[in-house]
């Protein structure tokens, strides 16, 4: 993801001055995707030159009127294209969260397909983590080093379980949910989340 897509999302939500956008970015999308104020201003200039956004003087601003940035049709189309674009093997959480925010702004309905793909990949990863756990950490007694190694693996398992639970909650809002593919999950293991019982894809 480029920072430009995150900025397009913010500007579609609310046209802003550069300083206002930087403050809003820090309090919202900035939690998922970090950018300095200097970087934001630099990217705004590039987006103006690309024809994705325009800057107009703030009404009633007098001689010190500030520029207010608005998204143009080409900018909206670029954001729609990016939302529908297939991510990496397992797209980073930060990128996918910004895509969800962008979907709220453009409403393409295209992100549901990518969610289904990410769910499949994450179930496969979770299944692999559990196989490793059964293979390497099933002894009743483990050394301190083994316990620490297991703790790292458990962090990965819990992260995938949590993401899959979140995906189940958001699925109905994206392209009609996960459909039959999402409903065909095996029964969860003892103490596991509802969507985390192996690959199930």
Examine the domain organization and report whether 123 and 172 are in the same domain: yes
Q: Flag whether 14 is in a domain.
A: yes
Range(s) of the domain holding residue 157: 111-183
Q: Flag whether 199 is in a domain.
A: no
Q: Flag whether 89 is in a domain.
A: no
The percentage of residues in the chain with a pLDDT greater than 90, rounded to a whole number, is 55
Q: Flag whether 106 is in a domain.
A: no
Examine the domain organization and report whether 135 and 72 are in the same domain: no
Joined together, the tokens standing for residue 120 give: 């499949």
Say if residue 121's pLDDT is above 70: yes
Examine the domain organization and report whether 72 and 7 are in the same domain: yes
Q: Is the pTM of this model over 0.85?
A: no
Say if residue 1's pLDDT is above 80: no
Q: Flag whether 135 is in a domain.
A: yes
Predicted confidence band of residue 141 (pLDDT cuts 50, 70, 90): very high
**Listed residues 21, 52, 76: the one ending a domain:** 76
Instruction: Tell me what pLDDT residue 92 has.
Output: 72
Alpha-carbon dihedral 130, 135, 136, 138, rounded to 10 degrees? 90
Instruction: Tell me what pLDDT residue 89 has.
Output: 60
Q: Flag whether 95 is in a domain.
A: no
Predicted confidence band of residue 175 (pLDDT cuts 50, 70, 90): low
Domain count, the chain: 2
Contact 21, 58 (CB under 8 A): no
Task: Show the CA angle centred on residue 68, arms to residues 27 and 104, nearest 5°.
Answer: 50
Say if residue 17's pLDDT is above 80: yes
**Segment 42-66 mean pLDDT:** 86
Examine the domain organization and report whether 117 and 174 are in the same domain: yes
Say if residue 110's pLDDT is above 90: no
Contact 44, 4 (CB under 8 A): no
Q: Flag whether 193 is in a domain.
A: no
pLDDT digits (tens, 9 = 90+) for 78-97: 999 999 888 766 557 788 88
Q: Flag whether 99 is in a domain.
A: no
For residue 28, what is the domain's CATH number?
A: 1.10.10.10
Examine the domain organization and report whether 7 and 72 are in the same domain: yes
Predicted confidence band of residue 62 (pLDDT cuts 50, 70, 90): low
Predicted confidence band of residue 59 (pLDDT cuts 50, 70, 90): confident
Examine the domain organization and report whether 115 and 72 are in the same domain: no
Higher pLDDT, 57 or 182: 57
């Amino acid at each position: 993801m480029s920072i430009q897509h995150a900025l397009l999302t913010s500007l579609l939500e609310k046209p802003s001055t550069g300083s206002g956008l930087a403050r809003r970015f820090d309090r919202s999308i900035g939690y998922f995707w970090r950018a300095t104020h200097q970087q934001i201003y630099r990217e705004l200039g590039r987006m103006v030159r690309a024809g994705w956004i325009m800057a107009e003087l703030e009404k009633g601003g007098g001689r010190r009127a500030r520029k207010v940035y608005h998204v143009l049709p080409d900018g909206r189309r670029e954001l729609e294209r990016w939302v529908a674009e297939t991510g990496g093997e397992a797209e980073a959480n930060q990128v996918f969260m910004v895509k969800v925010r962008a979907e709220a702004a453009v409403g393409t309905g295209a992100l549901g397909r990518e969610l289904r793909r990410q769910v499949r990949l994450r179930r496969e990863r979770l299944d692999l983590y559990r196989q490793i756990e059964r293979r390497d950490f099933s002894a009743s007694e483990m050394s301190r080093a083994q316990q620490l190694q297991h703790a790292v693996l458990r962090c990965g398992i819990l992260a995938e379980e949590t993401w899959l639970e979140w995906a189940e909650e958001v699925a109905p809002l994206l392209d009609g949910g996960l459909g039959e593919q999402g409903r065909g999950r095996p029964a969860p293991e003892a103490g596991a989340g509802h969507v985390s019982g192996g690959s199930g894809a």
